Chains A and B, each alone.
Chain A
Amino acid sequence: MQHRVDDRRASVSEKRPNPDLLSRLARGDTEALREIYLWYSDDVYRIALRLTGSSADAYDVTHDLFLGLPEAIQRYDPERPFPSWLRGVAVRTSQMRLRASRRRREVPLPALRELAVRPRQEAVVDRITLEKALDELSPDLRSVLVLRELEGLKYQEIADLLGITKSATAVRLHRARKRLSDILRGSPWSG
């Protein structure tokens, strides 16, 4: 049941809200905020969780984002697609969160060392390994990797979201992957 609902939300989240809804949101209309939340909170929370790696931080990021959205919407350029603008706010807010405080580690280092001991021929990354290894990346590298591998964005889209160039995106992405391979020592990058 939950999956069905999630799938539906994911499929509708690219839809642009109508201008009336956004103008009501800008006036602080609770009903409009509730509606926007129902449309986009899954996306925001997912991005925040993947970028911060902590459900507590993801909760705070999502909370802060929707708390400040009626005021922030006044800076939104209606020429841009709303979902990608909101995604950008989610990314920036998550990055701020990561930078502002050292996040509580949910995976202790010994566990990562365990993960690292993998035979060379199993040089594949499963979901759990990836989730835990992402924790070891810096906010900048983590952001670019998450947006590429988990959110499936193109280099230019990532560059736009992070306010960097396309080349810088490519460089960061490589560094992130290289760093991951260092963490997961059995990977082919170490050879």
Chain B
Amino acid sequence: MVRLSRHLSWRELNRLADDELDADSRGLAIEHVAACPKCSGRLSFLGSLRNAGRDMRHPTPPRELLEDVLRSRSEGLRSILPAISAPQRSPRRALPAVAAVAIIASLALLAPLFFAPEAGAGVSELKFDPPRPVPGEEVHLSYRPATELAGEAEVRLRLRLRRPDSEPPRETLGTHAEVILRPDAEGRYIGSFQLPPDFAFASMAVETSAGDRVDDRGGRLWSMRAHGDDGTPRLGALRQEFLVLQNRSWPDAAAVLHEMTLLYPERAEGWSLQLAHELPVQLPDEAAAGLARHREIFRGLQNRAERLESSAEETAAMARYAASLEDTAAFGEWLARLEALDAAHRLVVSARVSAFYTEPVQALAYLERLWSTHGSEANAIYKEGFQAAIRAGDRKAAHRWALRGLDVDGDDLWIRDLALALVMDPETRERGISEIRRLLAHLGEAADEVRPLNSTLEEVHRGSLRLRANLRVELAEQLMASGDLDAAMRELEAADSLGQWLPELYRARLEARLLEGGKQAALADFHRLDADPVYSRKSVDSLRHRLPPVSTADLRAGRERAESEMVQRVLANQFRRGLPPSELRTSTGQPITLESLLAGRPAVLLVWDRRVFGSAEDTEEVVRARNLLAGGPGQLLWVTSELDSESLQVFIREAGLGLPAHHDPRSKLGTALGEWGSRGYYVIDRAGMIRARTDSLMEAVRHLEVLLLGSRDTA
């Protein structure tokens, strides 16, 4: 090899340092550097540059950046990014590229003019400081109201606070708290709040101090997570956020799980929930691939868990993961470990009771033993006990478990079931009735503790009329079953006085009259059921044979009277509101508006994501609604936030929906309707005005038919 007798040029040294010399040149250069202090010093400098570069921080973007991006997009802001052309190999092409950058740079400056937020002043904003609070910390809140709440002397921020171990939520669950926010000189409303030490996650909405107007961010609500000292969201915070979102938005819940697995890959919970969340909406091929991947992850977690001591929650997560993977051996093993850690854990209790499913007497014996040692520690014990007693047909045991449940649980829905069961037994009837009366009063009060964050006092009060009427009907049915017809009739009359149109009430009252022997008196309710467009025709026909013969003319007259009452009662709650702007897509990706879909026909608009609300019952109800409307002037329109996919098409086919899906991928329509993440049924008249919104599809169908009936009468 020829030795270099000169110093290396700058070009050679750079290429040597950067490993860009060919092999021969490299050998010569290295030989020279080894013997030359000057070139060696220069090379060392280049090496130290590289080492310093390696030592440089690996910064991570601030946590709030993602939310900032998403908020900006939701407000309609966009940015124009520089074009990245194919790799440039020719120096002559460099100039146009630079020119393009310059042009794009100038366009970027103009971008805000073209992409000004559409909603602009209509968008409110809630900020917290610190943005990544830790439990126990004081949080300063700053709220910039939209037009609707601007100018208020003060506003009220309502929060639902959840602990890391809070059970899956319903709207009214979670500890209620509120903060009064007062305006500062810049028109922002400010206040502060001390987070409790066991804080994990909060949902929030702002309302007037009178509670008559609510800013719930288009139904989306604001949220706050608990963070660790290093600014990472806590696992418990992500868990609670997922539990809240899983009943509202499939993709948002999936994103939280994704984050959970990224931040806590060594914990089973995120993976287990991810598998359970994704599996039901996957096609067989996707599901098989997903299961294979998750089995691999599960094996890794198991190996790790062998070396470490797991908490009860982590052990439960492993057991759930094994169950989702249908690995019964692993499930049994993890369940045994969990039982050793916490015998009253709800997973242990439900698994053990399931094993005794066909032998409820044995299940009851197991639960009695568990209750005697763990009692009120876990609601799971009484719930399983109550249900096992009903399965076993052991009325006394059911009442015993119901009384236990009433002592330990504060959940209204469970209290209703337990109390109604107690009504059946003369010994416990008074207790059951008094619990129902307490619930009835509770529902009407719309107390903040139970009022959903996104509802005004008036909305809750209006909605409570129907709930109260239904509860009275349920109580009456129990009283009838236990032979107290007088008390049942009093409850039914009280329910009727609330002014709702309730076929369940008419049926119960008809049965009560027949039991009393008043066949003639039962006819009025028969006419009501006959007039109802949703009530089963088969039931109406079978009832007819139990009633005295009626002439066709009397039947028609009775039906017309009932229809008139129905129109008056159903339409009492309607309103008139224009449609919000919509940017829907057909399954072929073509843009389409709601107006063009309606085409001047009245409709029930179904805003429904089958990934969130796709139970068999829900799906059957959609099919039933479609059948009820078929052949008439009304139509059923379906809008979903889900994008079109093979999975969705398979679902539509297999469920027999017979409905095309119209896509609203950004949930813009739901947000514009103030109902983001909700399943909503809207009744739209011929003029394209929204006339009602209900939580029940059958009620929406009835409302539409009644609307048509009313307009026919008018015509």
If the complex has contacts A27-B665, A30-B73, are A5 and B56 also in contact, measured as CB distance less than 8 A? no
Task: For the complex formed, measure the closest distance between the CB of A145 and the CB atoms of chain B, giving whole angstroms.
Answer: 8
- Please give, as numbers and ranges, the residues of chain A lying within 8 Å of B712 by CB-CB distance: none
Q: Which interface residue of B18, B20, B45 has the most chain A CB atoms within 10 A?
A: B45
**Interface of chain A residues 60 through 87 with chain B (CB within 8 A):** 62-72, 75, 77, 80, 85
Chain A binder among B7-15, B433-441, B546-554 = B7-15
Q: Would B49 and A180 count as touching, CB distance under 8 A?
A: yes
Interface residues on A, range: 35 or more
- Please give, as numbers and ranges, the residues of chain A lying within 8 Å of B228 by CB-CB distance: 1
Q: Would B105 and A96 count as touching, CB distance under 8 A?
A: yes
Tell whether A16 is near chain B: CB-to-CB under 8 Å: no
Q: Which interface residue of B49, B89, B101 has the most chain A CB atoms within 10 A?
A: B49
- Please give, as numbers and ranges, the residues of chain B lying within 8 Å of A168 by CB-CB distance: 91, 94
Q: Which interface residue of B15, B41, B81, B262 has the most chain A CB atoms within 10 A?
A: B81
Write out, one digit per residue, whether chain A residues 140-177 have a CB within 8 A of any chain B CB (1) or not (0): 00000000111000110001100111011010011001
Complex Cα spacing A68 to B107, Å: 13
Tell whether A51 is near chain B: CB-to-CB under 8 Å: no
Please name the residue on chain A nearest to B88 by beta carbon.
Answer: A163
Q: Would B61 and A24 count as touching, CB distance under 8 A?
A: no
Complex Cα spacing A131 to B56, Å: 8
Complex Cα spacing A124 to B631, Å: 85
Q: Would B101 and A95 count as touching, CB distance under 8 A?
A: yes
Complex Cα spacing A165 to B89, Å: 6
If the complex has contacts A165-B91, A174-B11, A180-B49, are A89 and B82 also in contact, measured as CB distance less than 8 A? yes
Task: For the complex formed, measure the closest distance between the CB of A142 and the CB atoms of chain B, giving whole angstroms.
Answer: 13
Please name the residue on chain B nearest to A6 by beta carbon.
Answer: B58
Q: Would A8 and B262 count as touching, CB distance under 8 A?
A: yes
Q: Would B61 and A69 count as touching, CB distance under 8 A?
A: no
Q: Would A33 and B49 count as touching, CB distance under 8 A?
A: no
Of B72, B82, B94, B262, which is within 8 A of A9 by CB? Answer: B262
Q: Would A177 and B49 count as touching, CB distance under 8 A?
A: yes
Interface residues on B, range: 35 or more
Q: Which interface residue of A30, A88, A96, A124 has the most chain B CB atoms within 10 A?
A: A30
- Please give, as numbers and ranges, the residues of chain A lying within 8 Å of B58 by CB-CB distance: 3, 6, 10, 42, 46
If the complex has contacts A38-B258, A127-B56, A163-B97, are A65 and B81 also in contact, measured as CB distance less than 8 A? yes
Q: Would B45 and A189 count as touching, CB distance under 8 A?
A: yes
Complex Cα spacing A154 to B262, Å: 30
Complex Cα spacing A46 to B42, Å: 28
Of B18, B251, B258, B265, which is within 8 A of A8 by CB? Answer: B265
If the complex has contacts A96-B108, A188-B42, are A31 and B62 also in contact, measured as CB distance less than 8 A? no
Q: Would B105 and A100 count as touching, CB distance under 8 A?
A: yes
If the complex has contacts A155-B20, A163-B98, A173-B18, are A42 and B61 also in contact, measured as CB distance less than 8 A? yes
Of B57, B251, B258, which is within 8 A of A29 by CB? Answer: B251
Tell whether B78 is near chain A: CB-to-CB under 8 Å: yes
Tell whether B23 is near chain A: CB-to-CB under 8 Å: no
Tell whether A17 is near chain B: CB-to-CB under 8 Å: no
- Please give, as numbers and ranges, the residues of chain A lying within 8 Å of B87 by CB-CB distance: 159-160
**Interface of chain A residues 79 through 107 with chain B (CB within 8 A):** 80, 85, 88-89, 92-93, 95-96, 99-100
Q: Would A124 and B643 count as touching, CB distance under 8 A?
A: no
Of B10, B49, B85, B666, which is within 8 A of A130 by CB? Answer: B49
Tell whether A123 is near chain B: CB-to-CB under 8 Å: yes
Task: For the complex formed, measure the closest distance between the CB of A109 and the CB atoms of chain B, giving whole angstroms.
Answer: 21
- Please give, as numbers and ranges, the residues of chain A lying within 8 Å of B517 by CB-CB distance: none
Tell whether A14 is near chain B: CB-to-CB under 8 Å: no
- Please give, as numbers and ranges, the residues of chain B lying within 8 Å of A127 by CB-CB distance: 52, 55-57
- Please give, as numbers and ranges, the residues of chain A lying within 8 Å of B252 by CB-CB distance: 30-31
Complex Cα spacing A179 to B108, Å: 31
- Please give, as numbers and ranges, the residues of chain B lying within 8 Å of A50 by CB-CB distance: 56
Please name the residue on chain B nearest to A178 by beta carbon.
Answer: B10
Please name the residue on chain B nearest to A121 by beta carbon.
Answer: B41
**Interface of chain B residues 579 through 620 with chain A (CB within 8 A):** none
- Please give, as numbers and ranges, the residues of chain B lying within 8 Å of A130 by CB-CB distance: 49, 52-53, 56
Complex Cα spacing A27 to B583, Å: 12
Q: Which interface residue of B80, B84, B259, B643 has the most chain A CB atoms within 10 A?
A: B84
Give me 20 A-to-B residue pairs in the complex whose CB atoms sit less than 8 angstroms apart, sorted by A's number.
Answer: A5-B263, A9-B262, A29-B666, A30-B70, A31-B254, A34-B70, A37-B66, A59-B62, A59-B65, A69-B81, A70-B73, A71-B80, A124-B45, A127-B57, A165-B88, A165-B91, A173-B18, A188-B42, A188-B45, A189-B42
Interface set of B (CB-CB < 8 Å, partner A): 10-11, 14-15, 18, 20, 38, 41-42, 44-46, 48-53, 55-62, 65-66, 68-70, 72-74, 77-91, 93-94, 97-98, 101, 104-105, 108-109, 228, 230-232, 251-252, 254-255, 258-259, 262-263, 265, 643, 665-666
Interface set of A (CB-CB < 8 Å, partner B): 1-3, 5-6, 8-10, 24, 27-31, 33-35, 37-38, 41-42, 44-46, 49-50, 55, 58-59, 62-72, 75, 77, 80, 85, 88-89, 92-93, 95-96, 99-100, 123-127, 129-131, 148-150, 154-155, 159-160, 163-165, 167-168, 170, 173-174, 177-178, 180-181, 187-189, 191
13 more contacts with CB within 8 A, not counting A66-B69, A89-B81, are A2-B232, A8-B262, A27-B665, A31-B255, A35-B255, A63-B65, A64-B81, A67-B73, A69-B81, A124-B51, A125-B51, A165-B90, A170-B20
Q: Which 6 A-B pairs have the closest CB atoms?
A: A31-B251, A188-B41, A68-B79, A163-B97, A124-B48, A92-B82
